[in-house]
Structure 1
Amino acid sequence: MHIKTQMAAGEGPRMPDRSTKTTMGTEDMHERKVSVEPQDSHQDAQPRGMFHNIKFFVLCHSLLQLTQLMISGYLKSSISTVEKRFGLSSQISGLLAAFNEVGNVSLILFVSYFGSRVHRPRMIGYGALLVATAGLLMALPHFISEPYSYDHSSSDNRSLDFEASLCLPTAMAPASALSNGSCSSHTEAKHLTMVGIMFAAQTLLGIGGVPIQPFGISYIDDFAHHSNSPLYIGILFGITTMGPGLAYGLGSLMLRLYVDIDRMPEGGINLTPKDPRWVGAWWLGFLISSGLVVLASSPYFFFPREMPKEKHEFHFRRKVLASAASTASKGEDLSSQHEPLKKQAGLAQIAPDLTLVQFIKVFPRVLLRNLRHPIFLLVVLSQVCTSSMVAGMATFLPKFLERQFSITASFANMLLGCLTIPLVIVGIMMGGVLVKRLHLSPVQCSALCLLGSLLCLLFSVPLFFIGCSTHQIAGITQELGAQPGPSLFPGCSEPCSCQSDDFNPVCDTSAYVEYTTPCHAGCTGRVVQEALGKSQVFYTNCSCVAGNGTVPAGSCESACSRLVLPFIVLFSLGAGLASITHTPSFMLILRGVKKEDKTLAVGVQFMLLRVLAWMPSPVIHGSAIDTTCVHWALTCGRRAVCRYYDHDLLRNRFIGLQFFFKSGSLVCFTLVLAILRQQSREASTRTTVKSSELQQL
């Protein structure tokens, strides 16, 4: 999902390196036609190690971008776990997920200016080391915080776990571990420190990612054979698109492990991954990803600033050129291949002569000129809507699945990594294949975008109805029209001294009612039963349960768990259909703006996507999710993580936001198609008039 944001860094700022690329590429082609063999033999005679081989650079850069996307995508895979561990609302966690865009957007424009003025491989290496440092900083709060306490008993006396949530007389109730005074001065300050470290890490992650893709792509484009460069870049994107999928897969594995696996208490813990209090080892994935980034960054300090330009093209490429109908068609084909380079050469030759201040002054004029172009503006707005949908989905879909269908965080990540993201990648590839194979015109590209958006919207409609309401929670929810009964009446636990902020849910399976703690169910005893190598905790003598019965620990099972697969299949198909619009919409921009503005227009496009979509969308989705909460946990008197959501509201607002952005994309593509058809009619009318005038003459 984060692929689009990464492409922003890669496609936009390639302009400064084009001057050498254009001249070298044209001369290469001319000289190869005259005499290929002498050049090849001369090139082969030069001593070349693997660090002077552009193919090896492509391999290294593919692996680096793959691991970089693993770090940036891993937080999204563990967002609900981080919320529980540090008591964050979805709005704050969404802001945290979007904060890496702040550092990126603040510096990405300068990549267009610096271009080939710097040692690009080394700058990539330094950026990768910053990314790895950011990953280590993200894991740091785990090591400097206290061990995770899933109840309010003392962390030094684990034997109190057994009695912390039972119904006990006031005199026998365990005291809170922290007084209100120490809570406000000590715990809150430490909480702010942990959150501040993570925000700083996300900012550093964005800054470190700035030079990686743009400098890498321009380096490949400068020193690869002009016929091989598109293939190399295609391989690069093909490998890096697996990064988000691997991030969710890594999250699925890590969240099966307990958060304090490195400092387990004596006697172990009494939680399973299905327990709503379970927190997985979210920090371990950051350490693994950071180590991989360090390994992938090490070769960049050995690549030269400039390497000999690749002289060979692949044999199958030669056969394609050789099969052209005639020499004239060959010349026409080659000139069309070099046309984009010539178009960009003007700006490429100007940019290196500008000072940084002059460059900053020129950029707003290009920005305003492009924003006044109706096709450019509408296509960018449609991409903003699509990217907003993708950003919200990537950040909060795992959490939505957890809450809506009562599945574990690990299983939710596995569904997203194994189904949704692969279908998105297939959709992007299909869009590119259709544009290339069918040679689609701008009108046809807009029609394909409109069709993809319409089908995506239609697949979203059934999602509003796949789910079920929140089950009854004593003292919190109650079915509409239901008469108050003993099972929902909180007075049955009045003799108990229950802590209002404690959380250890139990389920009365006979009445399908959940209590936030055994104390609130009036339970006075606790037993552990061993079966098939697993221990199951039961609470006994519960006064709020019919017949003073026994209840099992844990939340009530959702009646909708079986619907998670139909839901994720429909959602993934819709996301895949929406991603078909990626390549044709990009072609609409390339063919729609002025020739001299193409290079910077792409940079403007992706900068707007970051500012208008990838930065605000996670915060918007998180805020919408927070409005559906019906019971908040309180930490030091402040609202922390949400314990229970209204499932109907959660589904309607989360899917409704996705539906809103999809509708916006559909409207924009409809207007683009209407404008292009009108322009096509006007062009054909002018042609007809001119031909009739010539005939009259």
Structure 2
Amino acid sequence: MSLDKKQEQAEGLPFLGDASAKSNNGKPPKEKPHKDIRCGFWIFKGSMLQRLATEKLFVVIYGIGGCFLSMSLAYFNGTITTLEKRYKIPTKMSGMIIVGNDISMMITSVLAGYYIHKGHRARWIGFGFFTIFIFCLLTCSLHFIYGAGEDALKLTRQYGDFKNISEYLTTAHKEQKLCMTKESGCVQQDGTWVPPLVLFVGQFVAGIGISLFWTVGIAYMDDNTSKDKTPALLSISAFLRMLGPAIGYSLASVCLRWYIEPNLEPLIKPGDPRWLGAWWLGWLILAVITFIIAFFMFMFPKELPSANARRLELEATGMQDPKEHKDLSISDLLRSIKRLAANKVYMYNTFATSFYLFGYLAYWIFTPKYIETQYRQSASMATMATGTLALGFSAVGVLLSGYIVSKYKPSARAMAAWNATVDFLTVAGILLYVVIGCEGSDQLSSMAISDSCSTSCHCEYVHYAPICSPDNVTYISACHAGCTGSSKTPLGRTMFTGCACLHPTNTTSGSEFQYALDGACPVDCTRQFIVFLVVMCFLKLVGATSKSTNLLISLRCIEPEDKSFALGLGGLIGSLTAFIPGPIFFGWLLDKYCLVWGKTCSNKGNCWLYDTHSLRYAFNLTSGFFILLGGLLNIGVWYHAKDLLIFDEEQKETDKSDGKADSFNLTSKFQVVKVSKETEEL
């Protein structure tokens, strides 16, 4: 017995050397693939682990890993408004922070897709998950460096050792800035540039992991699974990934219900715009889980045993050339780009996806903020609605499309037509968003800003501390309302008097009779919010059904040798045209309609109040325009995809034949691949 055979039997692996030699007319195999199919690394090896190197288990681990990867991104989006309030970050800067992962993806995707295919791809995927672990630690480190912040601590019972809320209000209203004859000093904020920088670096590191997950992970799954299982495995993996955003937003909702310092007792409720939730708790949970996923991914071999056996048999029968790993040059890279640029289906589909993503990223990132500003919901409620409810419909859409594609095997043209239909339906839903406004929210935004009356009170650097007038109009602060005095009501609320800048309707003339109470006026947007949720859930369901069909077209329309590189180039194009400019543009658009800034000495801080009516029109119509362009390009995909093959039609007859060996099935499949260069394995 040879040494190789003894070693493989000791590890519980089938000995492939003799079989491959016999099937190759007695000639020795050209390579020893058994060295690449051993499961485990370092001291984590053994015969027990070898049984785990299966296609199904990889898809499950890969899908779960994708779930937590997307979960971390969704968690960041769900807590972004809290981060803006805590660290005085404008929305435009938030958009620039978010594109950090897209910049690194742009750099990594092409290089990874072109060069890593000859390395140990499973371990590269594991390294990608380790970068997500670093991203989680970097993000939550801000809380341990800067703490909750004085603004948040002032709103707790323990601050100043107050015994009850009445005592706090008695002292707090004295600190409330009233109408001042002299200009107040600006608000000092320590290290205002450090938190955005740390958040950007964390996003940049995360982008490396995302790129490796997509470009290397999909190619590894593609090469190590049989073509018959493609739609089902793709659907399972996508379904597990789709659970990530829903769980991520739900985790954000739960964490934001806790005060930023859970061991302190807040004096305000979560519905108060000044509420800061415990945004940092979720990152600790995500860090632990992503580290475990990275460890398991390192366990998988360079090539799964089942895929290795299929490849050796095909090489032995001459149906597939042996794999050759050669150094790839710049000229090879340019030739691959030229081939893909001449592929009309690939280019139309790629740019259709880019336009769709540019428009839809606005909702993916800023939906919680949109719900908070338009429908006056708490940060916890906004993230819960965006995650658990809406993205649950996305998961159903992915499973439904996977089932339909697997069962009915639609043509490439049918898939492209459906993708275009989804885009047009999305535009129709966005037009409904425009008309789903809340009158109370619009009134709050339009009347909260006093006219030139408050300019003489020097309120530029006054903290956001809303008060409510008898006419149910919310003002930014007592200073902006021109109030000159304050007192405490029998119920413990602070009443501000002498408010000269209130809009008089039925009030008696004379500022001494104009008063307001602390806290924002109640606004009921529940009905409009529910209607918005219904439309959003429908769009999530419909939009998710095009994910599998879009990816199938992308992979089937390219040459086998360009598969990994095409995924990387698609990531590059998506980053340049959508993922990088999209968040920055829509962040700028949101800031453009800001009415109240929380200014500090170093910057204008975060936005406290928006012009909701104008913002609703600008935000939705702009998004709808770009998604419409994507739909028009999908018509081009439909036109050029008439000869594109998605499935092996001959495989149906092969599956029905009796007594056929698996090698015949594989041979038949690869014959179709060799005849039609446009048909690609997934």
TM-score (norm 2): 0.75
Rounded Cα–Cα distance in structure 2 between residues aligned with 1:635 and 1:493: 18
Deviation at 1:238, TM superposition (A): 2.4
CA 1:371/1:227 → structure 2, altered by over 3 Å: closer, same or farther? closer
Q: Using a 3 Å threshold, how does the CA distance of structure 1 residues 493 and 669 change in structure 2: closer, same or farther?
A: closer
Q: After superposition, where does 1:353-368 map in structure 2 within 5 Å?
A: 353-355=326-328, 358=329, 360-368=330-338
* 1:67-106 equivalences in 2 (<5 Å): 67-106=68-107
Q: Which amino acid aligns with 1:354?
A: D
Deviation of the 1:669 alpha carbon:
2.1
Task: Find the aligned partners of 1:439 and 1:620 in 2 and give their Cα distance.
Answer: 39
Task: Name the structure 1 match of 2:413.
Answer: 443
2:372 equivalent among 375, 379, 402 = 402
Q: 1:216, 1:622 → 2: CA distance?
A: 31
Equivalent in the alignment of 1:512: 472
SS of the residue 2:238 aligns to: helix
Q: Does 1:389 align with 2:359?
A: yes
C-alpha distance after superposition, 1:135-164 (max 9, x if no partner)? 111111222125423389899868753422
For 1:285, give the aligned amino acid.
G
- In 2: Cα distance, 1:47 partner to 1:643 partner: 58
Q: Show the counterpart of 1:543.
A: 499
Per-residue CA distance 1:596-623 (angstroms, 9 max, x = gap): 5455434433332233222221112111
2:450·2:480 contact (CA, 8 Å) conserved in 1? Answer: no
> Which residue is equivalent to 1:566?
531
- SS of 1:663 mapped into structure 2: helix
* SS of 1:539 mapped into structure 2: strand
Retained in 1: the 8 A contact 2:186–2:461? no
Using the TM superposition, name which of 644-653 and 225-234 deviates more.
225-234
User: What does residue range 24-173 of structure 1 map to in structure 2 within 5 Å?
Assistant: 48-50=47-49, 52-53=51-52, 54=54, 55-115=56-116, 117-145=118-146, 147-150=148-151, 161-165=172-176, 167=178
> What SS class does the counterpart of residue 276 from structure 1 fall into?
coil
- 1:475-486 matches, within 5 Å, as 477-478=446-447
Give the secondary-structure state (helix, strand or coil) at the position aligned to 2:468.
Answer: strand
State how 1:301-312 maps to structure 2 within 5 Å: 301-305=298-302, 308-309=305-306
Which stretch of the first structure deviates more once superposed, 609-618 or 296-305?
A: 296-305
SS in 2 for 1:353: coil
- Rounded to whole Å, the distance in 2 between the matches of 1:279 and 1:528 is 27
Q: Equivalent residue for 1:621?
A: 586
Shift, 1:466, TM fit: 0.8
Pick aligned residue for 2:618 from 653, 663, 668: 653
Segment of structure 1 superposing worse, 411-420 or 401-410: 411-420
State the SS of the aligned residue for 1:107.
helix
Matches of 1:195 and 1:224, distance apart in 2: 42
What is aligned with 2:400? Answer: 430
Seen in structure 2, the aligned counterparts of structure 1 residues 168 and 563 have a Cα distance that, compared at 3 Å, is closer
Question: What corresponds to 1:584 in structure 2?
Answer: 549
- The 8 Å contact of residues 472 and 512 in structure 1, kept in 2 or not, is answered as no
| SS at structure 2 position matched to 1:644 | strand
Instruction: Say which SS state the counterpart of residue 83 (structure 1) adopts.
Output: helix
1:199-218 aligned at under 5 Å gives the runs 199-217=200-218
Amino acid paired to 1:236: S
Letter in 2 for 1:288: I
Structure 1 equivalent of residue 632 of structure 2: 667
Counterpart residue number, 2:273: 276
- How far 1:420 moved relative to its partner? 2.1
- Corresponding residue for 1:295? 292
Tell me the CA shift for residue 115 of structure 1: 3.7
Which deviates more, 555-564 or 95-104?
A: 555-564
Q: Structure 1: how far apart are the matches of 2:528 and 2:552? A: 38
Q: How big is the shift at 1:643?
A: 2.0
1:327-346 matches, cutoff 5 A: none
Structure 2 CA distance for partners of 1:435 and 1:412, relative to 1, 3 Å: same
Residues 205-244 of structure 1: matches in 2 within 5 Å? 205-217=206-218, 231-232=232-233, 234-244=235-245
Shift of 1:245: 0.9
After superposition, the C-alpha distances for 1:498-542 in whole angstroms (9 at most, x for unaligned) are 56432100111x312222113444163354777xxxxx7442435
- Alignment check: 8 A CA contact 1:383 1:665 kept: yes
Structure 2 CA distance for aligned equivalents of residues 377 and 223 of structure 1: 27
Verify the 8 A CA contact 1:166 1:525 in the aligned structure 2: no
For 1:579 and 1:412, the matched residues in 2 are separated by 21
The corresponding residue for 1:195 is 196
Shift of 1:249: 0.6
Q: CA deviation at 1:90?
A: 1.3
Q: Which amino acid aligns with 2:495?
A: Y
SS in 2 for 1:203: helix
The reply on whether 1:635 has 2:600 as its aligned counterpart is yes
CA displacement, residues 92-127 of structure 1 (integer Å, 9 cap, x when unaligned)? 101211211222221222323444644444443333
Q: Check whether the contact 1:77–1:398 (CA below 8 A) recurs between aligned residues.
A: yes
Q: Distance in 2 between matches of 1:224 and 1:154?
A: 57
Task: Specify the alignment match of 2:423 in structure 1.
Answer: 453
1:257 partner letter: W
Shift of the 303–426 alpha-carbon distance from structure 1 to 2, 3 Å rule, reads closer
**5+ residue gaps in structure 2?**
1-15, 25-36, 38-44, 162-167, 646-682
Equivalent pair of 1:166/1:524 in contact (CA under 8 Å): no
The farther-off stretch of 601-610 and 155-164 is: 155-164
Q: 1:248-285 deviations in whole A, cap 9, x for unaligned?
A: 111111111122335x4xxx432221111112111221
Task: Letter of the 1:646 partner, please give it.
Answer: D
Q: Does 1:604 align with 2:569?
A: yes
Name the counterpart of 2:4: none
The answer to whether the Cα contact below 8 Å between 1:151 and 1:161 also exists between their aligned partners in 2 is no
Residues 376, 592 of structure 1: 8 Å contact kept: yes
Give the match's secondary structure for 1:211: helix
* Distance 1:152-1:551 versus aligned 2 partners, 3 A rule: farther
Query: 2:97 & 2:135 partners in 1: Cα distance?
Result: 13
Equivalence for 1:503: 464
Which deviates further from its counterpart, 407-416 or 367-376? 367-376
Aligned length: 584
Question: Residues 153 and 164 of structure 1 are in contact (CA less than 8 Å); yes or no, is this contact kept in structure 2?
Answer: no
Give the partner amino acid of 1:349. Answer: K
* TM superposition score normalised by structure 1: 0.73
Pick aligned residue for 2:521 from 556, 568, 576: 556
Other-structure match for 2:382:
412
Secondary structure, in 3 states, of the residue corresponding to 1:364? helix
Q: Partners of 2:308 and 2:225 in 1: how far apart? A: 8
For 1:7-26, list aligned pairs within 5 A: none
Q: Give the conservation status (yes or no) of the 8 Å contact 1:405–1:563.
A: yes
1:369 aligns with 2:339: yes
In the aligned structure 2, how far is the partner of 1:308 from the partner of 1:623? 51
Structure 1 residues 542 and 593, CA gap change in structure 2 (3 angstroms)? same
TM-superposed CA distance for 1:386, in Å, is 1.8
Task: Please give the secondary structure, in 2, of the residue aligned with 1:619.
Answer: helix
Partners of 2:599 and 2:153 lie apart in 1 by: 12
Give the counterpart letter for 2:205 in structure 1.
L
> Structure 1 residues 667, 349: CA separation in 2 closer, same or farther (over 3 Å shift)?
same
* Two-structure CA RMSD over aligned residues (Å): 4.1
Alpha-carbon spacing, 1:424–1:477, altered in 2? closer, same or farther (3 Å): same
In 2, the alpha carbon distance for the partners of 1:98 and 1:559 equals: 35
